[in-house]
Amino acid sequence: MGKEIQFSLVYRDMWQSSGKYMPRKDQLERIAPVIIDMGCFARVETNGGGFEQINLLFGENPNKAVRAWTKDFNAAGIKTHMLERGLNGIRMSPVPADIRKLMFKVKKKQGVDISRSFDGLNDPRNIIDSIKYAKEGGMIAQGTLSLTHSKLHNVNYYVNLAEQLIEGGADEICMKDMAGIGRPASLGKIVKGIKAAHPNMLIQYHGQTGPGFTPASILEVARAGCDIIDVGMEPLSWGTGHADIITVVEMLKDAGFSVPDINMKAYMQARTLTQEFIDDFLGFYIDPKNRFLNSLLIGPGLPGGMMGSLMADLGNNLASLNKWLVKNNQPELTQDELMVKLFDEVEYIWPKLGYPPLVTPYSQYVKNVGLMNVVQMTKGKERFSMIDDNTWDMLLGKAGRLPGELAPEIVKMAKDQGKEFFTGNPQTLYPDNLDVFKKEMDEKGWDYGQDDEELFELAMHPAQYRNYKSGKAKEDFEKDLAEKRKGLEAVSAPAAAAAPATGFVPKTLNVNVNGEKYVVSVSYGEGAPAPVASATETTASVAPVSTEGSEEITAPLEGNFHRTKSASETAIKVGDTIKVGDVVGYIESMKVYNAITSDKSGKIVEICFNDGATVEEDDVLIKLQ
């Protein structure tokens, strides 16, 4: 009998790697017992970065969802694990230490056993703080290596990082191959290096399958001594997701490992339920292209978890860019052409930005800079002419230490703009502020919740939680879903006899598996219809005035316009005098705030959009005289 290999079903990540949303609380409760009946999982991923924000965007209480989701697994003795982003907790931006500490206490009380803590820069200081806080909260602390492939990120780099995390108190090590670009032989050597010094250290491997390396990687790490493998299952395995449990079991069994059997009846039941959730509404938010392997991902190294948002960003920016191209008598681009340009640009700029491992949120930042570069250079402007504030914080060291050196042109740009580099512990930049949220809850009469879980949710996701409490989140989601359903009806009505064009609306087949009969849904087509655009709010901020001969400041990209991004800033107003280089507002796009600087001087005579209004590229934001 060979070495025993265990499996963890990353059910949450299956959805996040495929699209925008994941199942509701009631859907999770329905499928949990079926996953248990499959009989092959020692662990299940139950929540983490993105999961709770998704609940809030639904208008659903994330704390009730987590408690309901973990309940059956806890009773069955299946360990549950969450994913958290170190300094960023379970959001995209840094979190004060007192809120990070509360997170682990809350999650343990909600039924989560293991905290998988990673840092997007592999800065051990951020991970070791999480290890300490997780253990104080009663959780098993899993220190994580964010894997990528470069001249810096070699076997010794990762073995040394693992050593630092183990010295810092890690109970387990996770190898997080978030983009699936880890080379199989090298991954095996990393496992061997860790096991040579710590033979009893449990190692868990997580690999996305996007570029196609993952089955070979799983075999290599298993042979090197890895203990647990993360897997997915149909209909959301492969593509930008994870290797299917069926394939992995058969591959490892053939290699002589001891692996659990799969209850195929339960597998098919879970598969059918998952497809039902897709057909219910989740398929509207899944790009069918994310269901395919794509070796083009090897070059840019972008992770599967962000591919859903990436395809949406490409679509939005493509529409704006093509408008500009048509206006300037140039040929339009296809989405594939823009995607290849983006992938090439990410591969080019990654070393210049200090080789941050391409994992959330820094994969988003690098992708954003790459996409803005492509758009700006297509229009004849210079590379790096637009870098958002979140990316600057990463470049300046405010999120941690970059693995590599910044390119001289980036350093010069920072100095020219008066930006200062930071080399200390990044946590010191974000002082405790839990009391601020306690005060807000007290003033509004909101209950702190069981084990202070509602207080935690507000402190971790302030804007989303407020929208959830007011009902705005649910209203916005239901409106968006209704528009998508309306778009589907418009597409499918003329071709009722043909296969649907939405990419997920199924036909059904009767399938017999080992004597058991199942009704299986089958997806067709190229993709869900594009969202129906809502009317752009264009209400002027002042009564109409004569603006004849005025200068205009236009939007460099599409998104939501804001005059400020925090309460500490003073918003521009009509009558203000501005000069070249002044920040006049922000456009929130692709999960970050992009500062809009004036390229003109003058007196503001009109602000053309209200705060939060949707703007398109080249819309006039401000008029000057």
Give bridge partners of residue 597 from the DSSP assignment.
583
pLDDT band at 227 (very low <50, low <70, confident <90, very high): very high
pLDDT at 217 over 80: yes
Token pair 């998508």 is at which residue?
Answer: 484
If one counts every other C-beta atom within 10 angstroms of the C-beta of residue 491, the result is 16
The pLDDT > 70 percentage for the chain reads 88
% of the chain at pLDDT higher than 90? 59
| 310 close to 367: Cβ distance less than 8 angstroms | yes
Least confident of 144-148, 159-163, 543-547: 543-547
Q: Average pLDDT, stretch 31-60?
A: 92
Comparison of pLDDT for 361 and 236, the residue scoring more = 236
State the Cα–Cα distance between residues 373 and 380, nearest whole angstrom. Answer: 10
Residue spans of the domains in the chain: they are 6-257, 434-470, 551-624
pLDDT reported for residue 198: 98
Question: How far is 365 from 382, CA to CA, in rounded Å?
Answer: 18
Q: What is the pLDDT of residues 384-395, one digit of tens each?
A: 988 888 899 999
Is residue 535 pLDDT above 50, yes or no? no
The mean pLDDT of 282-296, rounded to a whole number, is: 84
pLDDT-derived band at 494 (thresholds 50, 70, 90) equals: low
Instruction: Provide the pLDDT for residue 138.
Output: 98
- pLDDT tens-digit readout, 396-451: 999 999 999 999 999 999 999 999 999 999 999 999 999 999 999 999 999 999 99
Residue 609 DSSP label: S
State the number of CA atoms in the 13 A half-sphere of 134 facing the CB: 31
Which of residues 189 and 611 earns the better pLDDT score?
A: 189
How far is 244 from 109, CA to CA, in rounded Å? 31
Return mean pLDDT, the chain.
Answer: 87
CATH number of 551-624: 2.40.50.100
Q: Which residues, 6+ apart, have CB-to-CB distance to 464 below 8 Å?
A: 53, 56, 57, 473
User: What pLDDT is attached to residue 568?
Assistant: 59
Question: With contact defined as beta carbons under 8 Å apart, do 541 and 604 qualify?
Answer: no
Residue whose entry in the numeric block shows the structure tokens 């090590």: 173
For the ranges 186-195, 246-255, 445-454, 535-544, which has the lowest average pLDDT?
A: 535-544
Question: Is residue 508 pLDDT above 80, yes or no?
Answer: no
* Total residue length of the chain: 625
What DSSP string runs through 301-323? ---GGGHHHHHHHHHHHHHHHHH
- Rounded to whole angstroms, the Cα distance separating 131 from 143 reads 7
Q: List helix spans (H) across 5-61.
A: 11-16, 25-37, 51-58
| CB-based contact 90:66 (threshold 8 Å) | no
pLDDT over threshold 80, residue 14: yes
Is 6-257's fold the same as 551-624's? no
| Single pTM value for the model | 0.80
Q: Is the pLDDT of residue 244 over 90?
A: yes
Measured CA to CA, the distance from residue 552 to residue 88 in angstroms comes to 38
Listed in sequence order, the DSSP H helices in 232-334 are: 245-254, 264-280, 307-327
Q: What is the pLDDT of residue 43?
A: 98
- Please determine, for residue 563, whether its predicted confidence score (pLDDT) is greater than 50: yes
The pLDDT score that the predictor gives to residue 591 is 61
CA distance 481 to 24: 14
Per residue in 119-146, pLDDT tens? Answer: 989 999 999 999 999 999 999 999 999 9
* Cα angle: 227, vertex 229, 230; to 5 degrees: 145
- Residue 508 DSSP SS3: strand
- Cis upstream peptide for 544 (omega within 30°): no
In this structure, how many other beta carbons lie within 10 angstroms of the beta carbon of residue 470? 11
Name the CATH superfamily housing domain 6-257: Aldolase class I (3.20.20.70)
Chain-centroid distance of CA 285 in Å reads: 14
Q: What is the mean pLDDT of residues 99-123?
A: 97
What pLDDT shows up at residue 39?
98
Question: What is the per-residue pLDDT across 332-378, written as a single tens digit (0 to 9) for each?
Answer: 988 888 888 888 998 999 999 999 988 878 888 898 899 889 988 99
Q: What is the pLDDT of residue 338?
A: 86
